Amino acid sequence: MDKVIQAQLRSIEEKNNVKILYAVESGSRGWGFESKDSDFDVRFIYVHPIEWYLSVFEGADVIEIPVDEVLDVNGWDLRKALKLMYRSNASLLEWLSSPIIYKQNQEFANELRYVSEKYFSPISSIYHYISIAKKSFDGLEGLKGIKLKKLFYVIRPILACMWIEKFNTIPPMNLQAMMKKVEIHNNIRKIIEELVVVKADSIESDSINQPIELMKFLRDKLEYYYSYAKDIKAEKERDSRTLNEFFHKTLRDYSGGINE
């Protein structure tokens, strides 16, 4: 699949006259709990030739490829990505710690990670993860059989909240990376580790009986982080100068010579 993905990325560059600076896996394979039939969720950041950014009217800032059973590929223009970074977009921040990198300019990636730390917002991130966890958790309670996929959509966001509370930094995308550092009861840790193994040998639609101890843990954490988020001190308005400087530097360094 790596060859297929690489070919897709090259095709995107040629057809759209752009340069892809960073491309990663953003779905369950990057999260660390894929199933046998999980697709590949490829996300990327790209730049246009510099003239594109000087147009009176802004052009489309997303490139999306029709989704099939195997590949889900789409990306954001650099300017869109930086606007989202200003708002501490959790999905974008996660891409920067993906364990599966399909393509990257190393200098660009390192600088983007450095910039991202300046715009990370614990408040918005906590609320983002709580929202994801609650939406999935509410659909599980009361059911005898629950889909593993949906259960992990509660587990990972809760662990992300635990990471933010402990370290006040951007949580890793990967579940196992978080599990190594957050403080979690051994029984819960063992249940989650066993579920990862089960999911790896299952398909996306498979269900299991409710793990009662884990469900109680998740419910308690959801209630706790709702209260915790309300007590976080309001943040000062962020300055956009660092983003502008990074934007200008990136265009100078990488926009020239695209399909000239």
Q: What is the CATH number of the domain that holds 13?
A: 3.30.460.10
One-letter identity of residue 100: I
Residues 61 and 80 both lie in one domain: yes
* Whole-prediction pTM: 0.92
Range of the domain at 60: 2-120+241-254
Q: Could you give the residue ranges of the DSSP H alpha helices within 35-185?
A: 78-86, 90-95, 106-119, 122-138, 148-167, 175-179
Residues 28 and 133 both lie in one domain: no
E strand segments, the chain: 19-25, 40-47, 62-64, 71-77, 101-104, 145-147, 207-209
Q: Is the pLDDT assigned to residue 49 strictly greater than 60?
A: yes
Q: How many domains does the chain have?
A: 2
For the segment 152-166, what is each residue's pLDDT rounded down to a tens digit? 999 999 999 999 999
Distance CA 38, CA 117 (A): 31
The answer as to whether 259 is a domain residue is: no
Q: Residue range 211-229: average pLDDT?
A: 93
Contacts (Cβ under 8 Å, ≥6 apart) of 241: none
For the segment 3-47, what is each residue's pLDDT rounded down to a tens digit? 999 999 999 999 999 999 999 999 999 999 999 889 999 999 999
Residues 20 and 70 both lie in one domain: yes
For the segment 62-87, what is each residue's pLDDT rounded down to a tens digit? 999 998 889 999 999 999 999 999 99
